[in-house]
């Protein structure tokens, strides 16, 4: 099936089979391996990307379903060689150790700011990370990074 979409600010057209998962298509066919696969139960959030501005699990959507949509993956966040404020906040707050969960955390963080604004508090952030699993950090620094990222996004908006 032919699908047309906007991926990381580029209009693209592709031929995909219906049973292709969105995450497999991104990783295996487009080489966008920043979106990770951490589970097969739709619970870990390592595969989070933004579809039409909403964070979704790319492991639980078919590639054919994004026909006509606008997608943003972790690869699309960096502009003119400058990290997105949420990415920079993760680096500065030591919001990662192995980094496996990080792309999904950053996407979830951006969604949190969209929904709760740049003055979001730590309790809300922790609650909103329900769909993201990290096996390294203990979450403290992830929450701190998202709070900091939120403030930076507010300042740059």
Ligand X SMILES: Cc1cc2nc3c(=O)[nH]c(=O)nc-3n(C[C@H](O)[C@H](O)[C@H](O)COP(=O)(O)OP(=O)(O)OC[C@H]3O[C@@H](n4cnc5c(N)ncnc54)[C@H](O)[C@@H]3O)c2cc1C
Q: What does 38 bind: ligand FES, another protein, ligand X, none (CB cut-off 5 to 8 Å by kind)?
A: ligand FES
Q: How far is the CB of 105 from ligand FES (least distance, A)?
A: 7
| Residue of the chain from 137, 146, 147, 152 that contacts ligand FES (CB under 6 A) | 137
Nearer to ligand FES among residue 107 and residue 134 (C-beta): 134
Q: In what order do the strands lie in the sheet with 2-7?
A: 10-15, 2-7, 70-72, 48-51, 54-57
Bridge partners for 129 per DSSP:
none
Q: How far is the CB of 127 from ligand FES (least distance, A)?
A: 18
C-alpha 48/C-alpha 109 separation (Å) is 11
Q: Which x/- pattern, by CB under 6 A, does the window 76-115 give for ligand FES?
A: --------------------xxxxxx--------------
How many residues sit close enough to ligand FES to count as binding (CB under 6 A)? 21
Which residues in this chain contact ligand FES in the complex, by CB under 6 A? 37-39, 42-47, 57, 59, 96-101, 134-137
């Amino acid at each position: 099936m032919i699908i047309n979409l906007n991926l990381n600010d580029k209009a693209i057209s592709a031929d995909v089979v219906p049973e292709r998962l969105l995450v497999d298509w991104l990783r295996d066919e487009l080489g966008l391996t920043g979106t990770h696969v951490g589970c097969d139960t739709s619970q870990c959030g390592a595969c989070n990307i933004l579809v039409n501005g909403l964070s979704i699990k790319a492991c639980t959507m078919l590639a054919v379903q994004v026909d006509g949509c606008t997608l943003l993956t972790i690869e699309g966040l960096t502009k003119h060689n400058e990290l997105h404020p949420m990415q920079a906040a993760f680096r500065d707050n030591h919001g990662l150790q192995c980094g496996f969960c990080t792309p999904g955390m950053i996407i979830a963080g951006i969604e949190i700011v969209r929904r709760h604004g740049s003055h979001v508090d730590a309790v809300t952030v922790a609650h909103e990370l329900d769909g993201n699993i990290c096996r390294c950090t203990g979450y403290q620094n992830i929450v701190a990074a998202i709070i900091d990222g939120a403030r930076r996004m507010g300042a740059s908006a």
